[in-house]
Structure formats: C-alpha cells, structure tokens
Amino acid sequence: MKAKARAHTNIALIKYWGKRDEALFLPTNNSLSMTLDQFYTETMVEFDSKLKSDQFILDGMEMDQRETEKVSLFMDKVRRYTGESRYALIDSVNHVPTAAGFASSASGYAALAAAAMKATGVNFSEKELSKMARQGSGSASRSIYGGFVEWQKGELADGSDCYAVPVLEQGAWDLRVLSVEVTHEVKKVLSREGMKRTVETSPFFAGWLEAVAADLVEAKAAIAERDFTRLGETLERNALRMHATTLGANPPFMYWQSSTVQVMEAVQVLRESGVEAYFTIDAGPNVKVVCQPKDEERIFAELMKLAVVQQIYRCQVGPGVNYLEI
C-alpha cells in the first residue's frame, strides 16, 4: 500500500490572507494562483501495519519528533477521512529552495495529500485532494491543479465546499515568473501568525476584504481575455493591499526589507521605460515578477544588475499533481 506523488508550488496573483476558521483552514476570501514549473516536492507514502508511529524522512534525513509530529497531525486527518488505520512511512524530497524563503508548504502538503490518499488504495477526486491539502497549508489546496487556479472559500462551516478549482489549463497562456531572491533569511512572522494578527487587530482588514473581492473579479476577467496589462495591474495592486493590512496590525509588522523595495522600484522603472513587468510578494522579503515571454530576458538582465539580488529563478506555468512509479 504505497504511492508517490509530485506537486508544484504556486504563486498567488490574488492573495489568500485571513482565516475564518483556524482549525479547518477556512479562508476569509477566494484566492487565485499560477502553478510554477520549477519548484516541486516528491513524496512517497507507505502505510505499514508494523509501524508503531509515523516516520518522516525529508531530503534523505530522518526528521526529529517535532517535525514528525506536524506531519503526523496531518496524517491523522487523512486517516480520519479515509478510514485508514495504519501508520505510515513518509519519504519526501523538496525541489524548492526553502532556505531562500520560497514556500515549500504548498507543494509539500499537496504532494503529501495526494500520495497519502492514493496509498490507501482508493481513488479520490481532485476536489477531495484539494480539501485535504488545504488542511495542511491553505495555499496547498491550489497546488493540486496546474495552470491558473482559484481556491473558493466556500460558505459552509464544515469546509465541505472549500476547495480549489482550475481556471485555465497549463498550456493555455504562456506567462513567466521571475522569482527574485534577495535574502536567505527565514521569515520572522510565519503566514499563519501574520494572518491571525491581521484579522484580529488590523483596522485595514475590512478594507482588504472589500478590495480582494473586486480584484478577483478583475483578475478572472483578465485571464479569460488573456489581457496581460489588466492582470498585471490587478495582481500588483492586490499584493500591495495585502501587505498594507500588516502595517495596520497591532503590533504592526512588515515582510519587506530595503532590498525588497529596491526590486519593486526597479520593476516600476522598467514599466516606465515600456517593459511590462509586475511584482507580487508573499509572506517574506523575496519578490516574484510576472511578465510575458517576450520581455523575460530584458527583465532578467535588468534585475540581475541590482546589487541586492542574490539569484533569480525563471519559472513558467506548471502542471498539477501527478503520480510517479515507485
């Protein structure tokens, strides 16, 4: 009873920021992402009646009790949902530069959910995989699918209508994302804590909720029309609105460093010179720049000139979850 799955990371163009239910990972708003081809996690899960507890190996190393417990809590959710009672060996390899502050939780929990559910011997739907992945990390719900993906917040209190749906398939629109690394430092305020503090204390959060609903409508229309300018303007505005909520929190916090702002400014300068590039930023200091294929080289070359830039990873639109031979 074993299975192996690969899932890719995604970058939110319209952000998930705020939970209405912490335990079930139910968000306050819909979000929309693009799956990335460069970064992924491969995870093998094997249920074994001989095991007395879950065993977790990450990048070839047996994890300590604390790390294993986190994964085990998630496996408990899988066991409750599927009726599987055995413990499992979980062997996971991250092809995501975690040290550089790129979130591996999305690809990690999407791959784990897919492999674990498959290893029970039952074929679950992608909708069910998305719901399960969500309960490891919210953004993981979107990594089940390739291309452009919307995570619907749902209305129900039990989360049964809270999952991601595909918006546009992988090959339908060739956009590029330059992942610009400005620091290796681990982020100070984790997304879970940052969201909680913002929801509870930021007077700007109400404004965020109002704005994000309109931004989502705009982004979906832009995707349907393949209108890059409209999508770019919307995604950049949405990222700034998300980060604005953190400044209003108590105590306030900020994910940007001076290097982050330098990359943002360089993107604006590029735009003033007629090159279409738009930035977005998650719960950390690194910047993702979205562009069309024709402008990628130029943007890459310009951003590489900045002294604060350590590395730039070039991404294209990536695929959804797939299963691998063991």
Residues at the interface with ligand PMV (CB under 6 A): 12, 15-17, 31, 103, 105, 137-139, 191-192, 282-283
- Contacts for 277 with CB less than 8 Å, ≥ 6 apart: 232, 267, 270, 271, 289, 290, 291, 295, 299
* Minimum CB–partner distance for residue 216 and ligand PMV (Å): 12
Q: How far is CA 216 from the centre of its chain?
A: 17
DSSP letters of 176-205?
Answer: EEEEEE---PPPSS-HHHHHHHHHHH-TTH
Q: Which is nearer to ligand PMV, 39 or 47 (CB)?
A: 39
Count CB neighbours of 85 within 10 A. 8
Q: Which is nearer to ligand PMV, 68 or 191 (CB)?
A: 191
Q: Which is nearer to ligand PMV, 23 or 307 (CB)?
A: 23
CB 174 within 8 A of CB 147: no
* Minimum CB–partner distance for residue 12 and ligand PMV (Å): 3
Q: Which is nearer to ligand PMV, 281 or 309 (CB)?
A: 281
- Contacts for 97 with CB less than 8 Å, ≥ 6 apart: 39, 181, 313
* Minimum CB–partner distance for residue 141 and ligand PMV (Å): 8
Question: The tokens 């917040």 sit on which residue?
Answer: 153
Q: CA torsion 97→189→319→12, rounded to 10°?
A: -130
Residue 136 is classified by DSSP as T
Q: Which is nearer to ligand PMV, 36 or 44 (CB)?
A: 36
* Minimum CB–partner distance for residue 322 and ligand PMV (Å): 21
* Minimum CB–partner distance for residue 234 and ligand PMV (Å): 14
Q: Which is nearer to ligand PMV, 47 or 151 (CB)?
A: 151
Strand partners, 322: 6
Could you tell me which of 45, 44, 33 has the C-alpha nearest to residue 9? 33
* Minimum CB–partner distance for residue 129 and ligand PMV (Å): 16
Residue 82 is classified by DSSP as H
* Minimum CB–partner distance for residue 13 and ligand PMV (Å): 9
Q: Which is nearer to ligand PMV, 41 or 137 (CB)?
A: 137
* Minimum CB–partner distance for residue 297 and ligand PMV (Å): 27
- Contacts for 204 with CB less than 8 Å, ≥ 6 apart: 244, 245, 247, 248
Could you tell me which of 174, 134, 173 has the C-alpha nearest to residue 154? 134
